[in-house]
Amino acid sequence: MDTALDAPPEAVGTFAEAAPAKINLALHVVGRRPDGYHELETLAVFTEYGDRLTVEPAARDHFSIHGSYGGQLPVDEGNLVVRAREALRRACGADLRPVSIRLEKNLPIASGIGGGSSDAAAALRALARHWRLADTGFLDAVAPALGADVPMCLAARPLLARGAGERIEPVSGLPRLAVVLVNPGVEVSTPQVFSGLASRENPPLQALPGKADFEALLGWLAASRNDLEPPALSIAPAIAESLAALAASGAAFTRMSGSGATCFGLYASDSAARAAADIIRRDRPGWFVAATSTTG
């Protein structure tokens, strides 16, 4: 197989990649496929805040996890980062040199903001740079097999995704959003949330406004849904506390992201978001709370 290398397969340099949080601003479940996957339509954005991954040369492969949530994850093939490394090696068909990968884990686990998928996507991007892969098509080929959210996280820009998440359409013209992310410290099982859906045949997303300033986007969001929020609320009532805390802090809009349990609030300014995060941290010291903004 053509290895698509623009240099000999030598690992060179140290490369760092952000693994940003993914926010599903809206998520509609519009059907179910014969293979059992749900047909989704989602508007997703990514934030300045997230995990961070570094790749550097090593005598043998090594993977370590650090940060606030590092102790909760495996460092073997049970971790998507390791699976991404090996899948990329197999796809390239080359004797790619060993690497040391360090993950700084700042996002809570199983929380609906794409943490593991974003880590895997960051690993693919960093390894492609590190191994000097000229053909980034390998990344697009590998990503879907790692998980439905990995292609979205590989793009890491505002997008509409359909199907199981693999059909991606970049979105331009969205405003930069000031955001607060809140998680009450509960993990929610994605399969359990999907199994609790009242309906799997729901109306699709409406067309986005041509020029979506903050007010226009809020109007569009008000007419949209996260179809996974009602079943997640029945499983984890603490999600309702998160939404209430965000609303009480002055958020212009609140919703759960993905299958939960992380919720987000949108604010008129960065200063308003920071002030809201300070209030929620003070009142709920055990919660994950982060003030951040979306990226373009």
Q: Which residues are part of the catalytic machinery?
A: 22, 149
Any idea which residue has 């971790």 for tokens?
79
Question: E strand or H helix at 245, and its extent?
Answer: helix 238-248
Which residue is associated with the tokens 């998160």? 242
- C-alpha 115/C-alpha 150 separation (Å) is 10
| Distance (Å, whole) CA 120 – CA 108 | 15
Phi, psi angles (nearest 5°) of residue 216: -65, -40
Q: How far apart are the C-alpha atoms of 265 and 272, rounded to whole Å?
A: 11
Record the tokens describing residue 19, joined without a space.
């693994």
Give the type of residue at 22.
K
Query: Exposed/middle/buried for 145, CB within 10 Å: 0-12, 13-18, 19+?
Result: exposed
| Lookup: tokens for 286 | 């055990």
- Please state, in angstroms and rounded to a whole number, the distance separating the CA atoms of residues 114 and 72: 16
Beta strand spans in the chain (E): 15-32, 38-57, 62-66, 99-104, 159-163, 167-170, 178-183, 253-256, 263-267, 288-293
With contact defined as beta carbons under 8 Å apart, do 147 and 154 qualify?
no
